[in-house]
Amino acid sequence: MKLTWILIAAALPALAQQPGFDFKSLDKLAANAKETTNINLEGDALKAAAGLMGDAFRNLTSVNVHSYEFAKTGQYNEQDLAPVRTFLKSLNWTKIVDVKESDETSEIYLQALPDGKIAGLAVLVAEPKEVTVVFLQGALDPRDLKKLGGLGIPNIELDHGGKKD
Amino acid sequence: MNLEDDLRRALQREAAPPDFAARVLARTRPRRAFLFAVAAAVTVAALVPPGIYQYRQRQKATEARDQLVLALSITQVQLLHIQQQIQHHTRHAQ
């Protein structure tokens, strides 16, 4: 009986926190990229960083932004992005935006919470010479993204469209 | 001679040798300096590491904040880009 409780207690943290995306599965992209930007923040570092930015981002649990820039077109193929889509599908993230142009794909995925907030935001943008993968996890109010405007970052109206100062 | 005389003689006040004060001070000075050094070291040991720790924590937080701002700005730029694509498609569809 004791052993059962110990096993349950050990499993709880794993159940509470969903596994993060393994960016090593995008190593193929990184290998051919001219320039890569990898930002991975979680735990105490993220808490400290968010603490310096006010209340808006206090509930973030992990931030992963990976950007790959290529010298010329054709240095990656759609199949290289499959791990991202497979991961999001496996965790039942909802694809809310899917824009396909001749040489470009843009997708936004959300993990929704019942109270209207989001538990996670994923963005996948594949341009001919650039691929960007974003994973923001943690309770986040979509309106909080607007608060970035105060940091010198262009402000966005997510609901009505249009760029604000 | 009786006991009283012996005691009186033994307890009679005697003047200290002329260099007595100098000798006492010479003996106590190094000890005072040592104690002062120990007290200073203890004070430094008590104050400096927490200060350094706090400074490093602050520095780490600032670096992490810069990374978070960059990450969120990349996210915003991409969202803005997608938004413009949607608007472009919407305009063409109308």
pLDDT tens-place string over residues A154-163: 444 444 333 3
Inter-chain touch A99–B87, beta carbons under 8 Å: no
Quote the ipTM score.
Answer: 0.75
Each domain of chain A, given as residue ranges in start order, spans: 24-164
Residues 53 through 92 of chain B touching chain A, CB cutoff 8 Å: 57, 60-62, 64-65, 67-83, 85-87, 89
Q: What average pLDDT does chain A have? A: 79
Q: Is residue B1 part of a domain?
A: no
In this complex, do A39 and B79 lie within 8 Å of one another by their Cβ atoms? no
Handedness of CA A98, A99, A105, A108 (dihedral sign): negative
**Cβ within 8 Å, pair B79-A101:** no
Do the chains contact at A145 and B76, CB–CB below 8 Å? Answer: yes
Give which of B76, B88, B94 to mutate to test A binding, by max A Cβ within 10 Å.
B76
Residue B8 counted as domain residue: no
What six digits make up the tokens of A144? 């909080």
Which of B57, B66, B83 is the best substitution to test chain A (most A C-beta atoms within 10 A)? B83
Summarize the confidence of residues A28-34 as an average pLDDT. 91
Give me A17's structure tokens. 């926190």
Over the stretch A60-105, which tens digit does the pLDDT of each residue have? 999 999 999 999 999 998 899 999 999 999 988 999 999 998 889 9
Per-residue model confidence (pLDDT) at position A58: 85
Say yes or no to pLDDT of A12 above 60.
no
Contacts of A65 in chain B (CB under 8 A): 70-71, 74-75
Contact A128, A117 (CB under 8 A): no
Residue B88 lies in a domain: yes
Residues of chain A above pLDDT 70, percent: 74
Does residue A11 or residue B7 have the better pLDDT? B7
Contact: B69, A101; criterion CB under 8 Å: no
Residues in B closer than 8 angstroms to A161, CB to CB, are 83, 86-87
Q: E strand or H helix at B30, and its extent?
A: helix B20-93
Q: What distance in Å separates the CA atoms of residue A43 and residue A41, rounded to the nearest whole number?
A: 7
pLDDT at B1: 62
Chain B hits for A50, Cβ within 8 Å: 68
In-domain check, residue B10: no
Nearest CA in chain A to B57: A48
Domains identified in chain B, total number: 1
Is B12 a member of any domain? no
Nearest residue, CB atoms, B64 vs list A45, A65, A163: A45
Question: Which pLDDT tens digit goes with each residue over A46-57?
Answer: 999 888 887 778
Residue-number span of the structural domain to which B53 is assigned: 17-93
Q: Amino acid identity of B40?
A: A
DSSP assignments along chain A, one per residue: -HHHHHHHHHHHHHHHSPPPP-GGGGHHHHHH-SEEEEEEEEHHHHHHHHHTT-STTTTEEEEEEEEEE-SSTTSS-GGGGHHHHHHHHHTT-EEEEEEEETTEEEEEEEEE-TTS-EEEEEEEEEETTEEEEEEEEEEE-GGGGGGGGGGTSPEE-TTT-SEE-
